[in-house]
């Protein structure tokens, strides 16, 4: 294996799923400007996530439509003549 290719500045940080508020702590090198007070009373860098294993449909078993940019509406409007037709 190559030497000195992995970063050496790992630190503890709190990751928070913004869709449901689930938080967990893990080591990371990801930069963060925000901080959060953890259960032990110390402040740690906060990394905000859009989706995690607690909100992803594959892990939850629920098919939840995540549409942040209106992609489904654009698709439905573009192909409204073809959607719903049966042969």
Angle at the Cα of 34 from the Cα atoms of 31 and 16, rounded to 5 degrees: 85
Average model confidence (pLDDT) across the chain: 83
**Residue 66 confidence class, pLDDT cut points 50, 70, 90:** low
Q: How much of the chain, in percent, has pLDDT values that exceed 70?
A: 84
pLDDT tens by residue, 29-65: 999 999 999 999 999 999 999 888 888 777 677 765 5
pTM, to two decimals: 0.63
If you write DSSP's letter for every residue of 48-86 in order, what string do you get?
EES--TTT-HHHH-------SS-HHHHHHHHTTTTTT--
| C-alpha–C-alpha distance, residues 45 and 18, integer Å | 15
19 has a pLDDT exceeding 80:
yes
């Amino acid at each position: 294996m190559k030497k000195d290719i992995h970063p050496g500045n790992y630190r503890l940080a709190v990751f928070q799923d913004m869709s449901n508020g689930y938080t967990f702590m893990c080591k990371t090198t990801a930069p963060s400007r925000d901080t959060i007070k953890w259960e032990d009373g110390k402040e740690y860098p906060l990394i905000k996530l859009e989706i995690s294993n607690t909100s992803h449909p594959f892990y939850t078993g629920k098919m939840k439509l995540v549409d942040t940019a209106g992609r489904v509406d654009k698709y439905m409007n573009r192909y409204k003549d073809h959607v719903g037709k049966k042969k």
